[in-house]
Amino acid sequence: MEAPSPGDRARRLAAEALAADDPTGWFERLYRGDQTVPWHQGGPDPFLVRWAADRNLDGSGNSAGRLTAGEEVRFARSRPAGLTALVIGAGLGDDAEFVAGLGFDTVAFDVAPSAVERARRRFPDSTVRYEVADLLDLPADWRFDLVVENFTVQSLPVGLRERAIAAVAATVAPGGTLIVHATYRDPAVERPGPPWPLTRSDLELFALEPVTVTQIPEPGHPELATWQAEFTRPG
């Protein structure tokens, strides 16, 4: 018999965990034992890479402070220690490594201990601080200049949406920037999750100042359209 695809395996583990009222338990089972995870792209998120390149993003402290849109990143204030970044639901660590490579002092967390262990193993010389943590129970004092939220909120059931989004937003420091990449959902269309994609009104729950919010269509595949958004918390 053929082995199940990573997507089929993920759906089965998710269904079992959700039936047991454990919305995050399946992630650990999915990452355990070096198995392929369906969302792993083998490199950083192309949207994040493009966004950073468009701004010559530099977190090293040569130019520090509030991230603003524009041809170049201009920082409002000097901070010799450089800028901090947080990667939410960091999985196998590619986005975290990318952000750290731009000079950010980076923390990356995931609820699945095996994901964290695999990220540390993949990048043994990394400067990233990889931690096991639950988005729904983060240290109250976590505040970062740059926060990257790629596809984590949508991996939690809709009943947890407000809490999950508020938890992401709470980690953005005054003057800080949040980058969100998520699958788009038309509010008129219901689909069983996971994932549970985000509607336009979900994005408003971040309650931060939008800089750009773009809906990227995927011709012929409406279920693959995405949101790419940048928010800031006024300093």
Ligand X SMILES: C[S@@+](CC[C@H](N)C(=O)[O-])C[C@H]1O[C@@H](n2cnc3c(N)ncnc32)[C@H](O)[C@@H]1O
Q: Which residues bind ligand X (CB under 6 A)?
A: 24, 27, 39, 45, 89, 91, 110-112, 115, 134-136, 150-152, 155-156
Contact 146, 51 (CB under 8 A): no
CB of 75 to ligand X, least distance (A): 26
Work out how close the CB of 146 gets to ligand X at its nearest, in angstroms, rounded to a whole number. 15
The β-bridge partners of 210 are 231
Report in angstroms how near the CB of residue 1 gets to ligand X at its nearest. 27
Which of 64/85 has CB closer to ligand X?
Answer: 85
Which is nearer to ligand X, 22 or 72 (by Cβ)? 22
Strands in 37-184 per DSSP E: 84-88, 105-110, 129-132, 144-150, 172-183
Task: Decide whether 168 or 208 has the Cβ nearer to ligand X.
Answer: 168
Q: Residue 112 or residue 147: which is nearer to ligand X going by CB?
A: 112
Tokens of 173: 């420091």
Residue nearest to ligand X (CB): 89
Q: Tokens 């919305």 correspond to what residue?
A: 23
- Give the nearest distance from C-beta 145 to ligand X in angstroms: 19
Cα 110 to Cα 200: distance, rounded to the nearest angstrom = 25
Secondary structure, 3-state, 218-230? CCCCHHHCEEEEE
